Amino acid sequence: MLTVYNTLTRQKEEFKPIEPGKVCMYVCGMTVYDLCHIGHARMLTAFDVIYRWFVASGYDATYVRNITDIEDKIIKRAAERGILPQQLVEETIADMRQDAAALGLLSPTFEPRATQHVPGMVALIEKLIANGKAYAADNGDVYYAVREFEGYGKLSGRTLDKLRAGERVEVDPHKRDPLDFVLWKAAKPGEPSWDSPWGPGRPGWHIECSVMSCHHLGEHFDIHGGGEDLQFPHHENEIAQSEGAHGHQYVNYWLHNGFINVDGEKMSKSLGNFFTIRDVLGHFDGEVIRFFIVRSHYRSPVNYTDSILVDAKHGLTRLYTALRGLELPAAAGIDWKDPFAARFQAAMNDDFNSSEAVAVLFELAGEVNKSRDPRQARLLKDLGGVLGLLQRDPEEFLKGGVGDDELSAEAVEALIQARKDARASKNWAESDRIRDELTAKGIVLEDGAQGTIWRRA
């Protein structure tokens, strides 16, 4: 039985899909104006693992992750660079997909862009006006009347009396109430715009996800996810829009991943502790970053430091080392009755507890190291694959290097050969010097009956 923590009810619940055997999940994706940062990596990886677990559990899973390709930040950044917003969007999407590939993310089933769904947004806004939940102001903007939606605040737990205007919305004199949020923005000179019954303009941020999710998954679906910073106002506003328009429940289960902190503090450009995924990939393998994220429960806060990433590299190295030198049988599907697999399954069925699942991988790796049983190694590789891990050739991972200061594999092999030649001529001093040089460069040598093998420390 799969249980999930539902932010809406603030408790774990048995997961019961609307349609047996199928699951529909929507996750708020990227606003494409800049490189993704390490906090985005947490969100993207967390829901990639959740999606993978549904597939591994036999569900017919539909995963929708949107792209916001029109927004104030995009327009501002494009103007700063002197390019068109669409050019910035395409460049940033290409960068995002490159980072996603490095992290081993599966492609979502659908990846809609906001600009592809503007007519649907106009139609939904018209419906909200007809239902008395929205109004057109005399400046061409359209606002949602928050106090007209009785359930406002049920996701975040905030009462109307304590709420302030949304973080991304400026208080506007054209609003009837300071809490009201914009659904449609009247066009400003030089900005992208679309025709509407209220004049040229563009959609507000919140309306986008209500339309894209319903377009692909229907007016009522199973799971909506995103970072915990989106609970209010974004997800709260999505509920108000969707339920205000359609008159029934929008989503059954709301899932939110925790933050990544840097050295114990919230990541912020102003604090100088802001890291893009591209920054971190300059020093660590993408699978190491993924492992760092996966070994923590998706709802828990995670602290990022270089030393923690180094520790994650050591942990992943231990798992790959267990697979080294074994010829694995062909994949035949996971036998969930196996004791290790059963414990892994129980962990993942407990609100996708990948932390406990990784602990099972380490125990299984210990057994593989003792038994050198190819069947156990196959299970280790297959269970790792459920988390998006351990799918490379062990030699590729163990000998792979990242960063300008890393010796190339070819350079390491050349030094190992030079050491072998020195030993053959009984030049022990030179042999030791070469070994010390490799050790200083983070190369671990293991001499055995079959010769010398190596890995990066």
Identify whether the C-beta of residue 251 lies closer than 8 Å to the C-beta of residue 219.
Answer: no
- The answer to whether the annotation marks 28 as part of a ligand binding site is yes
Strand 181-186 with 201-203, pairing: antiparallel
- Four-CA torsion 424, 425, 431, 434, nearest 10 degrees: -90
- The answer to whether the annotation marks 150 as part of a ligand binding site is no
CA torsion sign for 240, 243, 246, 252 is positive
CA 348/CA 4 separation, integer angstroms: 10
CA 396/CA 398 separation, integer angstroms: 6
- The answer to whether the annotation marks 219 as part of a ligand binding site is no
* Alpha-helical segments (H) within 140-256: 205-217, 236-246
What letter would DSSP give residue 302? E
- The answer to whether the annotation marks 19 as part of a ligand binding site is no
Find the farthest-apart pair of alpha carbons in the chain and give their distance in angstroms, rounded.
Answer: 91
- The answer to whether the annotation marks 24 as part of a ligand binding site is no
Task: Identify the CA nearest to 351 among candidates 46, 44, 32, 17.
Answer: 46
Phi, psi of 214 (to 5 degrees): -70, -35
Residue positions in the annotated binding site for Zn(2+)? 28, 209, 234, 238
Residue positions in the annotated binding site? 28, 209, 234, 238, 269
Residue positions in the annotated binding site for ATP? 269
